[in-house]
Structures are given as structure tokens and as C-alpha cells.
């Protein structure tokens, strides 16, 4: 297991299109997080899964955003009817819930044109 | 409320020590973290400190925590050009079991030869 994988690395889409990102966490990690980072900002929390249960969603996650982790392993983040303001780096992280923080993936950079 | 603040820029000469400062507002924070982000790369955990500790040293890195003043610092000894990156301070507030991270905006460290 080489860490947290995210796919794709880059996505350019036209406004109004739907996009889906995938995250494969470290296999033994039961916690999975999605964050969003825009230029010059720190990451902002979007949502959190423990196993397959989505336990918290940020109010940043509008109705156009949905995330799933169907079998408690990989997760998907879908954005419907994309807007230019959705352009950002979408980061996935996983952890065991211990003190040594998360392991982050390299992120998916979304550009909405 | 939850807020983490950092100075935005720091410039040092190669071989000097760098000190990056951070203040946080949640006095019940359990763990405090330093992450490093290089251009185009994901977030790399550098070190963390538990809230009942004053200091933690790990090779060239020294973390100091002043819980009374809610002040955290990261000292990098013998700073190298490879240390040029953005450094994020982050906390896990004690509220809730989700262990989501609250982030500062990041300090951009420039190391000049």
C-alpha cells in the first residue's frame, strides 16, 4: 500500500458539467476526509467518513456536492452542475484516528471554464 | 470559535534558523500539527505535539507550545533550499470525535542561497 491515491490528478470541465473524483485511502484506515483548498488558503473541511458512514458534512458542501464510501474503502466525490467557484484542489486524506494526523493524497485539481 | 492564524511570509538565508509562528483560539485543542506543502504537491505531515507537552524535537525541527498564550512555533535549524515551501499549522479541536483539522492560511518560507 503506497499511500492515498486520488484520480484524476487534473480535471478541466465546462461550467454546468458533472465531475466525479475518486480517492483510494490506505487500506487499514477507517477514517476518510475530503478537503478543498483554493490558492492562498489552507484546506477547508468538506466531509468525513468513518468506514462507510458519512458522519459529518460541512455547510460548504452544497446540494450539488455528494460523497460516498460504499464499502468503507474507496470514496467518490461528485460535483453536479459545476460552477467557476468550484475550481480548487480537492484533497482526500485517511487516518486511523490516532494522534499522528492524516495521510493526504496528492489531490485533484479542478478547473471549471 | 475555531481560528488558526499564521504570518504569511518568511524569508531566511540558507544555513540560518527559521521560526514559523502560529496562534490558535480553541483552548481545548488536543493535538497541534505542522504540515509542509511544496508547489504542486500534497500535504506532508512534519510533526505534531500533544497539548500537554511544551516542546518536541525531531532532528532539525523543534516545536514549542505555549498553551497559556495559545501559541505554537516551528523552528527549522540549518534551513536548506529544499525547505522552501508553505508550512501549515493545524489543530484538532476537542469538540467531537470526527478529528477534523482546522488550518491556518499557511506561511510561505523562502530560503535564499
* pLDDT tens-digit series, residues B19-32: 999 999 877 777 89
Chain A residues 89-108 with CB within 8 Å of chain B: 91, 93, 95, 97, 99-107
- Residue B90 CB-density burial (10 A; 0-12 exposed, 13-18 middle, 19+ buried): buried
Q: What does A35-86 look like in DSSP terms, one character per residue?
A: EEE-TTS--EEEEEEETTEEEEE-TTS-TTEEEE-TTSS-EEEEESS--GGG
Would you write out chain A's pLDDT as a tens digit for each of its 113 residues? Answer: 579 999 999 999 999 999 999 999 999 899 999 999 998 888 999 999 999 999 989 987 889 999 999 988 999 999 999 999 999 999 999 998 777 778 999 999 999 99
- Which grid cell sits at B106? 499557511
Mutate to test the interface with B, among A29, A30, A42 (most CBs of B within 10 A): A42
Distance CA B92, CA B18 (A): 25
The answer, for A53 touching chain B at a CB cutoff of 8 Å, is: no
- Bond prior to A2 in cis (omega within 30° of 0): no
Amino acid at each position: 500500500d503506497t499511500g492515498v491515491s486520488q484520480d484524476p490528478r487534473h480535471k478541466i470541465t465546462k461550467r454546468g458539467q458533472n465531475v466525479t473524483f475518486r480517492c483510494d485511502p490506505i487500506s487499514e484506515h477507517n477514517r476518510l476526509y475530503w478537503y478543498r483548498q483554493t490558492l492562498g488558503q489552507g484546506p477547508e473541511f468538506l466531509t468525513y467518513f468513518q468506514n462507510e458512514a458519512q458522519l459529518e458534512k460541512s455547510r460548504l458542501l452544497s446540494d450539488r456536492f455528494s460523497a460516498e464510501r460504499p464499502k468503507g474503502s474507496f470514496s467518490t466525490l461528485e460535483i453536479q452542475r459545476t460552477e467557476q467557484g468550484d475550481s480548487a484542489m480537492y484533497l482526500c486524506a485517511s487516518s486511523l484516528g490516532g494522534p499522528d494526523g492524516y495521510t493526504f493524497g496528492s489531490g485533484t485539481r479542478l478547473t471549471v471554464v | 470559535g475555531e481560528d488558526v492564524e499564521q504570518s504569511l511570509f518568511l524569508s531566511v538565508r540558507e544555513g540560518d534558523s527559521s521560526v514559523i509562528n502560529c496562534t490558535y483560539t480553541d483552548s481545548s485543542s488536543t493535538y497541534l500539527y505542522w504540515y509542509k506543502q511544496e508547489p504542486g504537491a500534497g500535504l506532508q505531515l512534519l510533526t505534531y505535539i500533544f497539548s500537554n507537552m511544551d516542546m518536541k524535537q525531531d532532528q532539525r525541527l523543534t516545536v514549542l507550545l505555549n498553551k497559556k498564550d495559545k501559541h505554537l512555533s516551528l523552528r527549522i535549524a540549518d534551513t536548506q533550499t529544499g525547505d522552501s515551501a508553505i508550512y501549515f499549522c493545524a489543530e484538532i479541536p476537542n469538540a467531537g470525535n470526527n478529528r477534523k483539522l482546522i488550518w491556518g492560511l499557511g506561511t510561505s518560507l523562502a530560503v535564499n542561497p
